[in-house]
Amino acid sequence: MIDPKVLREDPDRVRESQRRRGASVELVDEVLAAEERRRSSIAAFEQLRSEQKTLGKQIPRAAGEEKQALLARAKQLAADVKTAEAAQDEAAQAYDRLMLQIDNLVEAEVPAGGEDDYVVLDEVGQPRDFTAEGFEPRDHVELGRVLGAIDIERGAKVSGSRFYYLTGIGALLELALINMAVDQAMSYGCTPMIPPSLVKPRAMQGTGYLGQAAEDVYKLERDDLYLVGTSEVPLAAYHMDEILAADQLPLRYAGFSPSFRREAGSHGKDTRGIIRVHWFDKVEMFSFVHPDEAKAEHQRILAWEREFWDRLEVPYRVIDTAAGDLGASAARKFDIEAWIPTQGRYREVTSTSNCTEFQARRLGVRFRTDDGTRHAATLNGTAMATTRTIVAILENHQDADGGVRVPKALQPFLGGRAHLEPLA
């Protein structure tokens, strides 16, 4: 959640952030009113409790009618205190419920607008001219069939639409990419992690995935657990309710996990292939840093993501996501979009978000300073998401016969293979 002090002292800043996101501006005034009710209820409760304590000291010293009157008053006070305490709890819950609905404050540099109003920061590499090379490129579905790498039909037979099997060289390719991503993340000081993929509501709520993103989340109702859509969730919650030493920061992790997404609202979008699926594997980088270092860490994570795609030799671009397309927790987000030849456009393959202190406040992640404790800043960045990375590699490095060249940096993780050969 945002800093309550900012809300009290500069509500116009919060209103402007909500407006830029396309979120409710009126919510700010609702929260301010709820906070006033909470403060009033606390004052009323404390006043009654004070009177109750004073009365408790007077009763033993009283006698006769005076004592009877004090006892009657004490009985009434006990009921009033109980009512005031319930009112205080209710006001606090209402305030917390509304505060959780306010999104993180958007950074000033974030572009205005919605999904299509991003700003392109850089373009790297030149898309291949397949016409000049004399052949029509196959899409990843056809290449997956030719290589024996992807089986979508059996995925649908067993699990339904938007599921798949990676087979043979396809499975080996995913494992190679995972190992390459983890190896690179470790070189930046990230501790490799395999976190749980089922988490409690507190972890999901704390990272901001039970707000606007709730419709994309799978929940196991019987167990009151959620399937994560990214290992960002268990990594963020790893230090939940802990106070870290300042010299521990930055803490950097690289978590490998499956990611589950309902893809609600995507009916009719990317129905062919493995561009948009209900499950994929991913390596996610996650950092806990001093808030003053958050912007610099954001640039570092973006640079690490760019290095990965440079090594894969795939054309890509970097975009600055517009305010109206940010997730609830993100103050700013950069995406890398890889060129997909058969679609003739760039598609998102990684993102990195600066969540400032928003998630840490919800999850209770703090660190000690000379002046007490502060909430840490959290940042996340996708080192590699398997399905779209596989799509980009197959389509950009294909040959006329359906074979695929393996990028040099990936070859050591794929048993030294320099080329993926079509099935006979």
DSSP assignment of 321-370: --GGG--TT-SEEEEEEEEETTTTEEEEEEEEEE-TTHHHHHHT-EEEET
Helix crossing, 11-21 with 26-58: angle to 10°? 140
**Cα distances (angstroms) measured from residue 276 to each of 216, 227, 271, 273, 362:** 13, 17, 7, 8, 30
22: alpha, beta or left, given left = phi > 0 and alpha = psi -120 to 50?
left
User: Catalytic residue positions?
Assistant: 261, 276, 348, 351, 388
Residues 6+ apart with CB under 8 A from 413: 175, 176, 177, 179, 180, 183
β-bridge pairing 345-354 and 251-260: unpaired
d(CA 190, CA 326): 25
How many alpha carbons fall within 13 Å on the CB side of residue 7? 23
The answer to whether the beta carbons of residues 276 and 266 sit under 8 Å apart is yes
What is the distance in angstroms between the CA of the first residue and the CA of the last residue of the chain? 57
Query: How far apart (Å, rounded) are the C-alpha atoms in residues 183 and 177?
Result: 10
Q: Kindly give the pairing relationship between strand 191-193 and strand 251-260.
A: parallel
Reported as type and span, the H/E element at residue 39 is helix 26-58
Alpha-carbon 423 to chain mean position: 39
3-state secondary structure at position 223: coil
d(CA 137, CA 146): 13
At position 267, the amino acid (one-letter code) is H
